[in-house]
Structure 1
């Protein structure tokens, strides 16, 4: 006598993940300053290194980042802020928009330096060399200033 087989369930519609499934964002840990990756939509992130819980900024908040001039720690801040205080060394860093800054390589160690437009020189935070960035507007001006 054959054994009756249970009917197979009807397969449901295939699972379609949301368009942002697997999407990640990043922020800096409020405890140890490590860069944390987290799934989009999370409200807070627990650091696996130091167990500090860092709040995620509200959706739509544009973030920017800079390197602290005092201790070289990566800092993240809300775009539009004019200054950012480092939580490690307490240095207050000037936060400039991309159109307010320029770049030059250090005249000694070749490190890429960022400086505010209009500055005549910039001091390298790595080797302390002062690189001149104020270029005369003409060769005549350069001759008279030598």
Structure 2
């Protein structure tokens, strides 16, 4: 529908590829799909490579903007969750960190940040049983986790 109304020319097969890749690789994120259509429409190239390139570029722009809007502490906590999916281990790493932004972070503050990251769609939490106890494990929803370290390098 957007293609009919907003593009002069397009290829239905390329739109099908874009749609399939968006579902498979980018969690059906409509923001990424719309941005990719904008990029492809500007270039007016409808081959498979152009679709793949546009999706990657759209992903970096959309997720990059989300990461740019994160506070420094939340970004550092996200980086800790990428290293250690177990939230208890990630909290131990954060609390032992020598970083001024993380010094004195309480467990409740840490989990408030984790919940915020989940609300942004950057992670999801899964309850996991270890022995007789339950813990929370984070699943990183970023397709390219390296953009987190890239954003950290820019800031710190």
Range class of TM-score, shorter chain = under 0.3
Q: Compare CA radii of gyration and give the structure with the larger one.
A: 1
- Bigger RCO of structures 1 and 2 (CA < 8 A, at least 6 apart): 2
Q: Which has the higher strand share?
A: 1
TM-score, with structure 2 as normaliser: 0.24
Q: Which has the higher helix share?
A: 2
TM-score, with structure 1 as normaliser: 0.25
